Amino acid sequence: MHTKTCASAVKIYLFFLFISLFAVSGCGLDVDFGGNDGGDGNSGVASEETIEGTIEDVPSEYEGKSFVVKACVVKGGTIEEVCRATEEDVSEDEEFSLKGNLDPEVELQIFESENEDSPIGSRRIEVFPGAMIVIEDITIEADGRVVYDPEEANITFRGEVSDRNHNCTEGGGNLDGRIDVTISSEGSETVTVTVRLDDTEIFREDDPMCEQIASGRNIEVDGKLTNESKTVEADLIEIL
């Protein structure tokens, strides 16, 4: 008798649970039973991009001056009206930081403070979705060119290892070769970046192996820009 009573109670409980879930669904609410992080794109790709830099040298007439730095988004070769500007004026040897939706390209514009009619220097920079770029040696030439060595500019970004052009060799505690990494982020076009492996290390691995960066793995790349579009030289890779 006791067993029948318990069975009946369980049936009643399941019946009302079903009715409750049906009612919630009918109200337009989603019931999440787990197994999905609800995000779009690669795991952990930031929703905004960051450019940090330091102005190290300026023409003589601007020495001792302060500056406003802007990053204006470029799409299809055209500068859009969307720009991010430094919140405070910056001086030589002082770091600036710009954050926002800056991909796929920006024009970095540097103005003399209180005179933003035309920049004293500008340069276009390729930006990957969710990336952080750090440029420490910016020089403004007299002709308005902004000069720095791309191979000394740091970049950090996240993406998924592609099954295309996968060429990796291991040994001596480092990886060599190249891989393609696909970056997919909500609101941005999917980008494939060539990552050169040259004595590249894997974070917290004394003896890294190529299988650790096999196709489909989500990774974070910390490396340097190059003179080639969508190409990075990796110093360190972290498996996510």
Alpha-carbon distance of 116 to 79, in angstroms, equals: 16
**CB neighbour burial string for 191-201, b if at least 16 within 10 angstroms, e if fewer:** bbbbbbbeebb
| pLDDT tens, position by position, 97-155 | 999 999 999 999 999 998 998 999 999 999 999 999 999 999 999 999 999 999 999 99
Per-residue pLDDT, averaged over 193-204, amounts to: 97
Q: Both tokens of residue 19?
A: 């009715």
| pLDDT at site 129 | 96
**Per-residue pLDDT at 93 exceeds 90:** yes
**Per-residue pLDDT at 9 exceeds 90:** no
| pLDDT at site 164 | 92
| pLDDT at site 177 | 98
| pLDDT at site 82 | 85
Alpha-carbon distance of 38 to 175, in angstroms, equals: 34
Do residues 128 and 103 lie in contact, with contact meaning Cβ atoms separated by under 8 Å? Answer: yes
Residue 124's DSSP bridge partners are 107
If you average pLDDT over every residue of the chain, what do you get? Answer: 86
Q: Both tokens of residue 186?
A: 């909500």
Percent of the chain topping pLDDT 90: 75
Alpha-carbon distance of 67 to 128, in angstroms, equals: 26
| pLDDT at site 159 | 97
Whether the bond between 59 and the residue before it is cis, its omega within 30 degrees of 0, is no
- Nearest one of 163, 153, 159, 150 to 129, comparing CA atoms: 159
| pLDDT at site 44 | 81
**Can you list the domains of the chain with their CATH numbers?**
49-148 (2.60.40.1120), 155-239 (2.40.50.140)
| pLDDT tens, position by position, 75-86 | 999 998 889 999
| pLDDT tens, position by position, 11-70 | 544 454 444 444 434 444 333 333 333 345 566 899 899 999 999 999 999 999 999 999
